[in-house]
Amino acid sequence: MKKQLQYYGHVNESGALHVHRRDQFKRDVAALFKGHDVEVHLMPRKKKRSLAYNSYYWAVVVGMIRDRLLELGNEFKLEEVHDYLKSRFNHKEIVDESTGEVMHIPLSTTNLTTVEFMEYLERIKRWAAETLDIVIPEPGQQAELIFN
């Protein structure tokens, strides 16, 4: 098993590194790496999407698309709609050199930064408006509910 620690911190204006939960960090380093040479990697921390945006994505974006597909006579689970959206709007393209076939390998949305996730949502909303004839509201935007 690969020994690895992940902690977060902040580099202040004077360039000093401050590790969050420093006491725990020191204990973990001593327990796992005492007497060993180590390799240290630092990178800017990406801001991840909030729980509110995650809820908006599943309940509103994925939910409205699923509902529209149901209206059109297609039955899908939310997870299946999510998988389709990833394969269409958040994928890596691989080209089979022998046939020229382009494969879309869906990527996880959990690793997207806030900006990347917003761009993903915009691509989906544009497609939903053009293809499914539905307008997905912005987060917090009022929607009119009609009960029959």
The per-residue pLDDT for 125 is 98
Q: Measured in whole angstroms, how far is the alpha carbon of residue 130 from the centre of its chain?
A: 24
108-127 residue pLDDT tens: 998 888 889 999 999 999 99
The per-residue pLDDT for 32 is 85
List phi, psi (to 5°) of 120.
-60, -50
The per-residue pLDDT for 131 is 97
| Rounded Cα distance, 29 and 6, in Å | 11
53-103 residue pLDDT tens: 889 999 999 999 999 999 999 999 999 999 999 999 999 999 999 999 999
* Complete domains list, the chain, with CATH: 1-45 (no CATH), 51-132 (1.10.3790.10)
Handedness of CA 89, 94, 95, 98 (dihedral sign): negative
**Whats the size of the chain, residue-wise?**
148
Strand partners, 92: 105
Bigger pLDDT: 44 or 1?
Answer: 44
